[in-house]
């Protein structure tokens, strides 16, 4: 809906954003579409770390944001590592952009890295993307993943190894990404405490203490 120009009908995410971010200009006819430019909060982490569980608890704690789980839109067609999953990221940014027009920022929970979002065309519709990575000890991550349904021991073991590597990557590179990621180690805290930590992080940024 948002990408369609109400004046000429051109469908495109590639609009020019005004300096204050209040208007998106159609590149075909110049029509100015007023929109709300809010931040987007992205909660990332390895599979099994607890993003979905923390997200459910967070949704119950915060009524001034909309918490979304990115896996709900995943389809095999999006499995495109050669493009850095750009179509999947563009789709989610488009969804979050439209939701945020109701005046509430979106909190998007799902595995990802800043460079997969920051280069997207839809990125321009947000004032800033903030990233928080949930991490935990390797043995905790492996234990959680082994409790999940699996198609075979070998596939499970390989996937666990991949996620442990990603968990390490987050810990070692959070300050090297652009923008940087905040880390929250949830190894020794409860789900409720983890959700409180995420909520505190979000509120601090919403209040301008970047």
- At 152 the pLDDT is 56
Q: Are 85 and 145 contained in the same domain? A: yes
Q: What is the mean pLDDT of residues 88-95?
A: 97
How many domains is the chain partitioned into structurally? 2
Best CA proximity match to 38, nearest among 127, 169, 162, 160: 127
For residue 137, give the nearest of 205, 189, 206 by alpha carbon: 189
Could you give the CA distance from residue 7 to residue 31 in angstroms, rounded to a whole number?
6
Q: Do 60 and 16 belong to one domain? A: no
- Which residue segment(s) compose the domain that 189 sits in? 38-206
**DSSP letter for each residue of 38-89:** --EEEEEE-TTSSHHHHHHHHHHH-SSSEEEEGGGG--GGG--GGGTTHHHH
Taking the C-alpha atoms of residue 74 and residue 148, their distance in angstroms, rounded to an integer, is 18
Q: Looking at the structure, tell me whether residues 70 and 27 fall in a common domain.
A: no
- Give yes or no: residues 25 and 55 share one domain: no
Q: Are residues 111 and 195 in the same domain?
A: yes
Kindly state whether residues 152 and 72 are assigned to the same domain: yes
Per-residue pLDDT tens for 131-188?
999 999 999 999 999 887 765 555 788 999 999 999 999 999 999 999 999 999 999 9
Clarify whether residues 149 and 96 are in a common domain.
yes
Reported as type and span, the H/E element at residue 77 is none
**29 lies in the same domain as 43:** no
Q: What is the pLDDT of residue 210?
A: 45
Tokens encoding 123: 């990125």
pLDDT digits (tens, 9 = 90+) for 15-46: 988 776 688 999 999 999 899 999 999 999 99
Is 11 in the same domain as 112?
no
How far is CA 201 from each of CA 20, 44, 131, 183, rounded to the nearest angstrom?
Answer: 25, 14, 10, 10
67 and 140 part of one domain: yes
């Amino acid at each position: 809906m948002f990408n369609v120009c109400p004046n000429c009908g051109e469908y495109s995410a590639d609009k020019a954003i005004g300096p204050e971010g209040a208007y998106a200009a159609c590149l075909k006819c110049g029509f100015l579409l007023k929109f709300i430019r809010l931040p987007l909060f992205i909660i990332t982490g390895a599979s099994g770390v607890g993003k979905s569980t923390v997200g459910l608890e967070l949704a119950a704690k915060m009524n001034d944001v909309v918490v979304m789980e990115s896996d709900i839109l995943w389809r095999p067609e999006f499995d495109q590592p050669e493009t850095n999953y750009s179509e999947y990221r563009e789709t989610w940014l488009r969804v979050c952009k439209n939701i945020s027009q109701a005046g509430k920022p979106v909190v998007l929970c799902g595995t990802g890295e800043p460079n997969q979002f920051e280069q997207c065309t839809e990125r321009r519709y947000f004032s800033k993307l903030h990233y928080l990575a949930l991490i935990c000890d390797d043995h905790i991550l492996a234990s959680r993943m082994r409790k999940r349904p699996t198609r075979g021991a070998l596939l499970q073991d390989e996937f666990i190894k991949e996620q442990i590597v990603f968990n390490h990557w987050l810990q070692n590179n959070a300050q090297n990404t652009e923008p940087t990621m905040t880390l929250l180690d949830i190894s020794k805290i409860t789900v409720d405490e983890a959700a409180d930590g995420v909520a505190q992080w979000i509120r601090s940024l919403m209040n301008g203490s970047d």
